[in-house]
């Protein structure tokens, strides 16, 4: 098995914990333990104080799976399988979907494990390029043409990291139809679901829409609770969920019990949590709209529709990697060059989920104005 260098995680791990301003984050403003506990119902508060720290049900705590299932119309707790973060969910799912003599269709740029882990498990991957000119929407004809007899799955991510765009209704339906017609799995990474500008309209998750779908969710992004390391997949295919659970017995066995309960508290209070996080995103996006207008000659982007990051094209002369290094050194502001996504164009990911983003943007703007 080969695990290629994970460029994005490597880039972040060397900078994220010492940078003063994270202007590239893909997660919402983090909540503290005490803020979260204040949102707990009396029943969950009591459970928190008397929590036994033993093993829990491998597929996920029963209350947690029931609460998560509320996010998936038509599905119940038996349709949910929990993991340590979204990343373990991707790993365990792909270990069962892919092997030698299998094939996957992925869309690039993307979060690297979505494209590279199928290869680690032995699959061949056809990489379909998303293009700025198409507003980052996938080329459905190219996807259709890439389907082979050994294709197992089409892998998508909506809202998308790094562009913040979402599959159009038509493209989503076309992908569902393609997967149903060809007996493929539609693996939908939906870790940014329910976070974004208030105007965003949310359709049902893919796992609710089709028996061919697997939806990936997590506490990290929309809820701002990455430190809990709780993620999940949802699917109508219970046999497949059981097979995937077998891999979890070799990785984490069960979730962290305190994290499971804290996730229950957060999901029960999701309206409050998503409203606060959404307000930050709305405010920051309005600042970015003005910033993009002021610097229209140098920067362009497709305005993100969901999540809290976007991909900016820099038409300046300087290489973005150099710009990012110099910016970090001079101001403590961290952006993320598109090269971590293997993009050759001069692009960078900008994040707007954090409360101190306005200050970070001010530092960034003064830096570029100084030239």
Ligand X SMILES: Cc1ncc(COP(=O)(O)O)c(C=O)c1O
CB of 199 to ligand X, least distance (A): 22
Least Å distance, CB 258 to ligand X, is: 17
Q: Is 95 in the site for ligand X (CB under 6 A)?
A: no
Question: In the structure encoding, which two tokens stand for residue 151, read together?
Answer: 């294709």
| Subset of residues 222 to 261 that bind ligand X, contact rule: CB under 6 A | 226, 231
Q: Report the residue from 98, 111, 187, 299 that binds ligand X according to the rule CB under 6 A.
A: 111
Residue among 236 and 263 whose Cβ is closer to ligand X: 263
Contact stretch for ligand X (CB under 6 A) within 83-91, 117-125, 336-344, 355-363:
83-91
Kindly state the smallest distance separating residue 370's Cβ from ligand X, in Å: 31
According to CB under 6 A, which one of 86, 264, 328, 333 is a site residue for ligand X? Answer: 86
Residue 85 or 278: the one with the smaller Cβ distance to ligand X is 85
Q: Which of these segments, 81-89, 123-131, 345-353, 362-370, binds ligand X (CB under 6 A)?
A: 81-89
Question: In the set 61, 158, 161, 339, which binds ligand X (CB under 6 A)?
Answer: 161
Residue 310, H or E segment: strand 309-314
Burial 333-371 (b: 16+ CB within 10 A, else e): bbbbbbbbbebeebbbbbbbbbeebeebbebbeeebeee
SS3 278: helix
Helices (H) and strands (E) in the chain, counts: 14, 13
Q: Spell 132-160 as b/e; 16+ CB within 10 A means b.
A: eeeebbbbeeebeebbeeebbbbbbbbbb
Residue nearest to ligand X (CB): 85
φ and ψ of 14, to 5 deg: -85, -10
List phi, psi (to 5°) of 269. Answer: -100, 25
Rounded to the nearest whole angstrom, what is the least distance from the CB of residue 189 to ligand X in the complex? 5
26 counts as binding ligand X under rule CB under 6 A: yes
Q: Which is nearer to ligand X, 209 or 263 (CB)?
A: 263
Query: Per CB under 6 A, which of residues 167..196 are in contact with ligand X?
Result: 189, 191
- Cα 150 to Cα 294: distance, rounded to the nearest angstrom: 50
Q: CA-to-CA distance for 249 and 101, rounded, in angstroms?
A: 25
Burial string for 248-272 (b: 16+ CB within 10 Å, else e) reads beeebebbbeebbbbbbbbbbbbee
| 217 vs 278, beta carbon nearer ligand X | 217
* Shortest distance, position 187 Cβ to ligand X, whole Å: 11
Kindly tell me which of 87 and 305 has the beta carbon lying closer to ligand X. 87
SS3 345: coil
User: What track of x and - describes contact with ligand X for positions 116 through 155 (by CB under 6 A)?
Assistant: ----------------------------------------
H/E segment holding residue 153: strand 151-157
Q: How many residues bind ligand X (CB under 6 A)?
A: 13
**What whole-number distance in Å separates Cα of residue 123 and Cα of residue 285?**
39
Number of Cβ within 10 Å of residue 93's Cβ equals 25
Pick from 51, 177, 155, 17: nearest CA to 98: 155
> At its nearest, how many Å lie between ligand X and the CB of residue 191?
5
Residues 314-343 that bind ligand X (CB under 6 A): none
Residue 112 binds ligand X, judged by CB under 6 A: no
Residues at the interface with ligand X (CB under 6 A):
26, 85-87, 111, 157, 161, 189, 191, 218, 220, 226, 231
């Amino acid at each position: 098995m080969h695990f290629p260098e994970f460029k994005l995680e490597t880039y972040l791990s060397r900078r994220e914990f010492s940078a003063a301003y994270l202007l590239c984050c893909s997660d919402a403003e983090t909540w503290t333990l005490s803020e979260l506990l204040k949102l707990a119902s009396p029943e969950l508060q009591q459970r928190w104080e008397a929590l036994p720290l033993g093993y829990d049900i491998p597929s996920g705590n029963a209350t947690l799976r029931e609460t998560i299932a509320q996010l998936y119309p038509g599905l119940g707790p038996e349709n949910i399988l929990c993991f340590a973060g979204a990343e373990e969910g991707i790993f365990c799912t792909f270990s069962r979907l892919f092997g030698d003599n299998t094939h996957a269709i992925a869309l690039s740029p993307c979060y690297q494990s979505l494209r590279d882990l199928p290869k680690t498990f032995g699959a061949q991957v056809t990489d379909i390029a998303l293009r700025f000119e198409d507003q980052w929407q996938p080329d459905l004809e190219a996807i259709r043409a890439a389907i082979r007899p050994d294709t197992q799955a089409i892998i998508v991510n909506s809202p998308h990291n790094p562009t913040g765009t979402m599959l159009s209704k038509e493209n989503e339906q076309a992908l569902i139809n393609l997967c149903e017609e060809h007996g493929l799995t539609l693996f939908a990474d939906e870790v940014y679901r329910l976070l974004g500008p208030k105007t965003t309209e949310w359709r049902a998750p893919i796992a609710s829409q089709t028996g061919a779908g697997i939806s990936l969710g997590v506490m990290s992004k929309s809820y701002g609770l990455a430190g809990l390391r709780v993620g999940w997949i949802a699917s109508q295919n219970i046999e497949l969920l059981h097979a995937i659970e077998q891999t979890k017995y070799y990785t984490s066995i069960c979730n962290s019990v305190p994290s499971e309960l804290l996730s229950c508290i957060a999901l029960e209070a999701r309206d409050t949590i998503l409203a606060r996080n959404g307000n930050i995103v709305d405010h920051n996006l309005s600042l970015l709209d003005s910033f993009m207008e002021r610097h229209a000659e140098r920067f362009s982007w497709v305005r993100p529709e969901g999540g809290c990051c976007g991909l900016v094209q820099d038409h300046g002369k300087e290489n973005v990697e150099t710009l990012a290094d110099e910016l970090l050194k001079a101001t403590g502001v961290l952006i993320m060059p598109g090269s971590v996504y293997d993009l050759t164009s001069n692009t960078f990911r900008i994040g707007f989920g954090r409360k101190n983003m306005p200050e970070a943007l001010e530092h960034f703007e003064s830096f570029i104005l100084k030239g």
